[in-house]
A = this chain, B = another copy of it.
Amino acid sequence: MLKVALVQQNCSADVAANQAESERQLRRAAAAGAQLVVLQELHSGLYFCQTEDTGQFDLAEPLDGPSRQRFEALARELDLVLVISLFEKRATGLYHNTALVMDADRGCAGFYRKMHIPDDPGFYEKFYFTPGDGDRELNGFRPIQTRVGRLGVLVCWDQWYPEAARLMALAGAELLIYPTAIGWNPADDEAEKQRQLGAWQIVQRGHAVANGLPVIVANRTGTELSPDGGTIDFWGHSFAAGPQGEILAQAPADEPALLVVDIDLQRSEDVRRIWPFLRDRRVDAYGNIVKRYID
């Protein structure tokens, strides 16, 4: 039984305040016995991708920058495994949306650079983030080994891609983890908002089912305004699901939350015995998956 905590925050432009709040929640999670804590995507600041602004590159930091140092020390002090997210400066003019995993006293156990990058109104991520390298030896869809298991860490837009979840599962991931920043456009009507939220949960619970793995999703909450007048209502609903896609815990839409949930890793063993999907994959017939389209 693994005790997992998910931190759902609202953020401001004050990085120190955001990180202090993350730290406060980490300490609460540790006090509650959490062994693994997942923070949301880009938790140190506002979601700055609502506009394309070269000035925002000032927010980026190297892989071994201040975020890593702070949270690595906290994971060590609190003796837990921690998934954080940051805006990575890899080189001048080369940036990624990157998750890092801190493995208690072992320090940083690995990182994952977001592979699928969205770009739609209010989410101009292709301007900021280079997609993660496809070369599996560098990173790609490679689980990160920690003392609580092999973590299949993916990020936000990756959550819509069954291929990403499957590749993590095939590489031995024991948990799928998605730091996220997704929300509503206030101009959409209520029915559309509910369909979008539903779709977002369903597709990820579907990955749990298809791969017989628990899924952990930490999303942002709160309303953020952009300089050009745009608004995103981040929809919260951070959740954990078991390997049959069943919801184990879920946060509300519009307030910060610390979810602490027990995940029975033995369930994956049991579920994959009754539903041995990996046994029957038609690997002889999947070759066209690497095509953009079959035309």
Contact = CB atoms under 8 A, between A and B. Distances in A.
A278 B291 CA distance: 11
A210 B160 CA distance: 6
Interface string A154-167: 00010011111111
A1 interface: no
Sorting the interface of chain A by its residue count into under 10, 10 to 19, 20 to 34 or 35 or more gives: 35 or more
Determine how many copies of this chain the complex contains.
Answer: 2
Given A282-B116, A289-B286, A162 B210 contact: yes
B283 A136 contact: no
Interface stretch (A35-43, A192-200, A219-227): A192-200
Interface of A: 115-118, 120, 131, 134, 136, 140-141, 157, 160-167, 170-172, 195-196, 198-199, 202-207, 209-210, 242, 244-246, 274-278, 280-295
27 contacts: A115-B285, A120-B274, A134-B284, A140-B285, A141-B288, A162-B162, A162-B166, A163-B166, A163-B282, A164-B282, A167-B289, A170-B288, A171-B288, A195-B242, A195-B244, A195-B245, A198-B245, A199-B246, A202-B209, A202-B245, A204-B206, A206-B209, A206-B210, A283-B289, A283-B290, A287-B290, A289-B289
